Chains A and B, each alone.
Chain A
Amino acid sequence: MLSARKSDLFFLFITASTLLIGIAFLHAEVQAARNLPRLQQQAQMVEKYDLTDLALCTEARYTRHPSQADRHTAFQDHPVSLEHFPTGSVIGPSHHLK
């Protein structure tokens, strides 16, 4: 019985993986085109309700609405209060506050 050489198996694996990465690129293209109406619908909602931020981190107001925050919001609790919400280290200060 003929058995496949190790090198053949390796090149087969690399070819299959490259093909899968190619399929991932194709999937990304198709999915992005398919999601466009949903994104447009969300953009319309943003326009309709005058929204400014993504509802990604809802624990603190300066991470819920980073674009609307002022310099003090992260230290709002008392004068020497340190910024302590976990997402505060993820969502940095707004562009215009830097």
Chain B
Amino acid sequence: MRRIISILMENQPGALSRVVGLFSQRSYNINSLTVAPTDDPTLSRLTVTTIGDDRKIEQIIKHLNKVVDVAKLVDLTEGSHIERELMLVKVKATGAQRAEVKRVADIFRGDVVDITPTMYTIQLTGTEEKLDGFIQALAGTTILEVARTGVSGVARGEKILSL
């Protein structure tokens, strides 16, 4: 099952490599990974999406907790949560396709953030699934480049991940 694990860790050199290294060392999957400092500059928030059965996820969480730089973590998929990913797509847009691409982008609530006479750059935010859906919807066009940030998220309601 797909899980989103959000981690608060020391914003220190080497911390990220310890977390990433743990996944490769123990042969756990990383589907996506995002990391950036939080409002407290001494802390980074890292969000990783991974796949595994309950036993594997339990081990991943236990091992992540053992990493000395990891202060706190939560499996967002355990409760209701909000997840978002941002994607920039460069699509070939000439002739009749120009209007068609724009229409599809509008349906997905994407924004055209850059244009040239032959292409659009579209920015889209949403769940991983929605972003996948948009790429599928563009099947009839020529996608030139895709840049995705990976999933980030927070729990719904009053649940908070902080120190």
A and B held together in a complex: no
